[in-house]
Amino acid sequence: MANSTATYGQLATTSKRMVRRLATIGENRLELLAVEVQEERERILRAFLLALGVATFGLLAGLTLTALIAVWLWAWSPAAVLLILTGLYAAAGIFLYRRLLGVMRNWQTLSASLEQLRKDRECLEKILA
């Protein structure tokens, strides 16, 4: 009987240790997730502000260039100048739209946290198997 009591005591001690370790691992993963979410938020905000600046000054430069080309070639053919500029702008818009789709397709959010959780799961599966 004393032997089974000692076994139950060892089992309880081992179980407590395992639960503490799992709680510590969970806490570390949540901290990693919180840090990654904050970094992602800051990166998105920075990218948005930079894109806004690029768009603003790109639009101003494009308007100025369009006015210059239209004034310069107006005597040649007003309709042709406007059609050529429209075609160039449409091609640039399509090119940028396709690049945006590529970036969005390859976007990985919280990749480090997900990878760490996969490793934790594999480790637990090895321990429990």
pLDDT at 1 over 70: no
Q: What are 75-121's pLDDT values in tens digits?
A: 888 888 888 888 988 898 899 888 988 888 877 776 777 787 788 77
pLDDT at 47 over 70: yes
Full domain range(s) for residue 37:
2-128
Between 2 and 22, the more confident residue is: 22
Q: Token pair for residue 3?
A: 């032997």
pLDDT at 25 over 70: yes
CA distance 64 to 68: 6
Give the whole-number percent of the chain exceeding pLDDT 90: 7
Helices (H), the chain: 2-73, 78-105, 111-128
Predicted confidence band of residue 70 (pLDDT cuts 50, 70, 90): confident
> If you average pLDDT over residues 30-56, what whole number do you get?
88
Residue 1: DSSP 8-state: -
Mention every residue, 6+ apart, whose C-beta is less than 8 A from residue 40.
109, 110
pLDDT at 6 over 70: no
Question: What is the domain count for the chain?
Answer: 1
Question: CA 128 from chain center: how many Å?
Answer: 34
Q: Token pair for residue 107?
A: 């976007």
CA distance 84 to 79: 9
- What is this structure's pTM? 0.50
Amino acid 57: pLDDT: 92
Mention every residue, 6+ apart, whose C-beta is less than 8 A from residue 81.
69, 70, 73, 74
Q: What is the largest CA-CA distance in the chain?
A: 109
Predicted confidence band of residue 14 (pLDDT cuts 50, 70, 90): confident
